[in-house]
Structure 1
């Protein structure tokens, strides 16, 4: 069961690709987009994340946090290869704990599902989508969801 629209987003703490500790609650007052993705270096995931990289206006509208169950050092190599420019968060250990708290963990594959959550500045989930494993998400959907947050963003 995915975290429900209208509910408080589960807080978490983990490391980004540079080893910096990141806590969701540190972004209070600013919209956040959580982008769960299955695997670094995979085709669909790389296409989605490089598309985001190439949308500077969208990235300026919220804090984008991409989350996978890959280890931190793999995420660093991935970012070095792709030059993504936003935080890649590790959900490696405890394995899938963040994805599980959002209902976005696939226990059969041992990875995050392709799920997205738009969280407002008060920490409330305002929009979410869960795509099938091979289906890329459309960044225009993120832009519409962020626009619907209104001027308080």
Structure 2
């Protein structure tokens, strides 16, 4: 698998969030940094602990627009968001199945899900930092905070 490298343009996409609202990555250009968080499955143990930990870090969430992406259908994402009280958008990559994850090199076709990939994208649409973990291995939120802090200092 090939992941887009730091310094490259983030692949644009258009999808819906858990409320059925349209979301396009390029709509954040010039307005807000984005943290794109791919996760395998709603309601799974590691994904739930990762997204709950993110939910519980409001100062981190304030630093950028967090968009969590999975191949789950829209209505599953709505139930998951409601059950976990997640304050950020959950984006569906259900159809065409895995198209967004594929564009970022994090789609696992054998499992039909996204890998644990995270991409920090600046306001110009450039990928500034990324990490991809194996499915059972949660990501470290402190790494997100460090990447966002560095992004802030790079823009001064």
1:150 to partner: Cα distance? 2.3
Say which of 60, 71, 74 aligns to 1:72: 74
1:4 to partner: Cα distance? 1.1
Say which of 80, 83, 87 aligns to 1:81: 83
SS in 1 for 2:152: coil
CA RMSD after TM alignment? 1.0
1:3 to partner: Cα distance? 1.1
1:118 to partner: Cα distance? 0.3
Alignment of 1:16-31 (within 5 A): 16-29=17-30, 30-31=32-33
Matched, 1:8 2:12: no
1:55, 1:84 → 2: CA distance? Answer: 11
The residue aligned with 1:58 is 60
Say which of 114, 122, 125 aligns to 1:123: 125
The residue aligned with 1:44 is 46
Structure 1: segments with no counterpart, 5+ residues: none
Structure 2: segments with no counterpart, 5+ residues: none
SS in 1 for 2:129: strand
Runs (4+) of structure 1 exceeding 6 A deviation are none
Say which of 87, 90, 93 aligns to 2:92: 90
1:120, 1:149 → 2: CA distance? Answer: 7
Q: TM-score, normalised by structure 2?
A: 0.96
SS in 1 for 2:118: strand
